[in-house]
Amino acid sequence: MKSSPCYAGCVAASKQHLFIYGTLKRGDVRAPLLAGQAFLGEVRTAPRYRLFNTGSYPAMVEAEALGLPGLAVVGELWAVDAEGLVRLDEEEAVDEGLYKRRMIEMADHRAEVQAYLYLQSVEGMPDCGDCWRGAC
């Protein structure tokens, strides 16, 4: 995985580390929502999660809650300021209960990292495993 040399230590206290795994990733359709934020590198979660295909975007869930083995999901690490988090929470429909932004466990990163976890049922959705759209 490629990463910035200051990966964990260079983020200002006012920025939150955020794990991005789907349409917000660089080059994807909603990437412009991260304009002005700091890309820190490509990373993996601890092997506790899975991605499901909702049709036009992925849903990351805790695998254990579904009785499935967890995988190390591939994604990007970003440092996002408070204004950016408000914008992303709105985009991810946090207030409507579609996603919840919360701490997750990373494979190789000691700082606190948050991600958007899907709160709706994934029953009947295709399992993407550890990567959205085979872009990994």
Q: What is the 3-state secondary structure (H, E, C) of 64-77?
A: HHHCCCCECCEEEE
In Å, what is the CA distance from 109 to each residue of 71, 84, 92, 106? 16, 22, 24, 6
Neighbours of 29 (CB within 10 A): 12
pTM, two decimals, is: 0.87
Q: How confident is the model at residue 8 (pLDDT cuts 50, 70, 90)?
A: very low
Nearest CA to 96 among 72, 118, 122? 118
List the structure tokens of 96.
Answer: 């409507």
- What's the mean pLDDT when you consider all of the chain? 89
User: Are 104 and 114 a contacting pair, CB within 8 Å?
Assistant: yes
More confident residue, 51 or 133: 51
Kindly list the domain boundaries of the chain, sorted by start residue.
15-122
Q: In sequence order, what are the residues at sequence separation of 6 or more whose Cβ sits closer than 8 angstroms to the Cβ of residue 47?
A: 69, 70, 71, 72, 107
**pLDDT of 13:** 57
Has residue 1 got a pLDDT over 90?
Answer: no
Average pLDDT, integer, range 80-104: 97
CATH of domain 15-122: 3.10.490.10
Return d(Cα 114, Cα 102) in angstroms, integer. 5
User: Are 87 and 33 a contacting pair, CB within 8 Å?
Assistant: yes
Has residue 135 got a pLDDT over 80?
Answer: no
Average pLDDT, integer, range 38-57: 95
